[in-house]
Amino acid sequence: MPIIVNLDVMLAKRKMKSKELAEIIGITTANLSILKSGKAKAVRFSTLEAICKALDCQPSDILEYIED
């Protein structure tokens, strides 16, 4: 998929663990792992909003479009 999820990078920048983020945004660590690995088919606006709020960033910091 040409959409890359840079959640790992943002987590490293904010020095936050996946488990912490999962607890803050209210999703399971398994689902966060799916999102991080790029296996997710779609992201809800509410989830994206929660991630941006927790990591204090913009959606463009998390999602990136790279042409195949």
Partner 1 sequence: MKSINEINSLKLIIKALFFVFCGSYLLLIIKNMFAIMENDLSYINECSSEDITSLIIVTIVIKLISKGLFFIGFYHLIKVLNFETLDGSFSIKKINLFKKSGRLILLSGVIGIFAISIDMLINVFNATFSTIEQNNDFLYSLYFSAIVGLFLIVFSKILERASELKKENELTI
Binding site for partner 1 (CB under 8 A): 27, 31-32, 34-35, 39-44, 47
Question: Which H or E element spans position 63?
Answer: strand 63-65
Q: Which is nearer to partner 1, 16 or 48 (CB)?
A: 48
The whole-angstrom distance between residue 43's C-alpha and the CA centroid of its chain comes to 9
The residue among 31 and 60 lying less far from partner 1, judged by its C-beta, is 31
CB of 40 to partner 1, least distance (A): 5
Minimum distance between the CB of residue 18 and partner 1, rounded to whole angstroms? 13
Taking the C-alpha atoms of residue 67 and residue 26, their distance in angstroms, rounded to an integer, is: 32
